[in-house]
């Protein structure tokens, strides 16, 4: 995890999100801005993306970055669960999309319960992510962890299209922040997915 206290200055990534025309949350402590950043690498199977969480705490801006994947695994690309193709979340902002619930009925995570998302259906079964064939709906595109106790380096068993944090300690940290947000009265979470090239804006 990367942790940075920006003090009274808003983190750069929130300026990027704002410049892309998306909503940011700036008023209350622990009103979370959750941003996925997808790398330019279109070969799946790696934790080469990141989940960034920005929030205020005692009027200081805090930024935390966690290694993650925003793509389905190589195995899902080769043999997708859905005949339409593997689901690759399209960049955009999904307002109120997540609520805390059980991922696959097993453990608490941020689960797609509040809004539709748009995915690409990559169905050519090769080893490269293709941004084609859009579909919108409820597909269970959750934000969860990989292994329960270990830091793994392959997304093989953990990503069917969800947003997956590599380190279980980082995920536990995120969930702790999520419960702090619930404590101020907001039980839904907005998720914004951008691309690494957007950071250059």
pLDDT tens-digit map of 119-165: 999 898 887 888 889 999 999 999 999 999 999 998 988 889 999 99
Indicate the number of domains in the chain. 1
Strands 107-112 and 33-38: unpaired
Does residue 166 surpass a pLDDT of 80? yes
Instruction: State the Cα–Cα distance between residues 15 and 140, nearest whole angstrom.
Output: 29
Give the distance, in angstroms, between the CA of residue 86 and the centroid of all CA atoms in the same chain: 17
Residue 77, pLDDT score: 82
- Output the CA angle 41-166-18, nearest 5 degrees: 65
Report pLDDT for 201.
Answer: 52
Q: Which residue has the tokens 């997708």?
A: 80
Rounded mean pLDDT of 64-76? Answer: 93
The better pLDDT of the pair 63, 82 is held by 63
Range of the domain at 108: 2-200
> Residue 96: its pLDDT value, please?
99
Question: What mean pLDDT comes out for the span 36-57?
Answer: 96
In DSSP terms, 87 is beta-bridged to 121
């Amino acid at each position: 995890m990367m942790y940075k206290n920006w003090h009274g200055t808003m983190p750069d990534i929130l300026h990027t999100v704002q410049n892309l025309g998306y909503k940011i949350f700036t008023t209350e402590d622990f009103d979370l801005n959750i941003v996925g950043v997808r790398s330019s690498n279109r070969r799946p199977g790696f934790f080469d993306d990141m989940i960034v969480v920005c929030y205020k705490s005692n009027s200081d801006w805090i930024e935390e970055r966690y290694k993650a994947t925003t793509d389905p695994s190589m195995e899902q690309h080769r043999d997708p669960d859905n005949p339409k193709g593997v689901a690759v979340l399209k960049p955009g902002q999904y307002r109120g999309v997540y609520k805390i619930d059980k991922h696959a009925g097993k453990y608490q995570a941020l689960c797609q319960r509040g809004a539709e998302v748009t995915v690409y259906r990559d169905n050519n079964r090769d080893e490269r992510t293709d941004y084609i064939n859009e579909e919108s709906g409820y597909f269970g595109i959750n934000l969860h962890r990989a292994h329960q106790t270990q830091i793994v380096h392959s997304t093989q068993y953990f990503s069917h299209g969800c947003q997956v944090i590599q380190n279980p300690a980082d995920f536990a940290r995120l969930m702790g922040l999520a419960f702090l947000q619930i404590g101020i009265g907001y039980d839904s979470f907005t998720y914004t997915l951008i691309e690494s090239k957007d950071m250059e804006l």
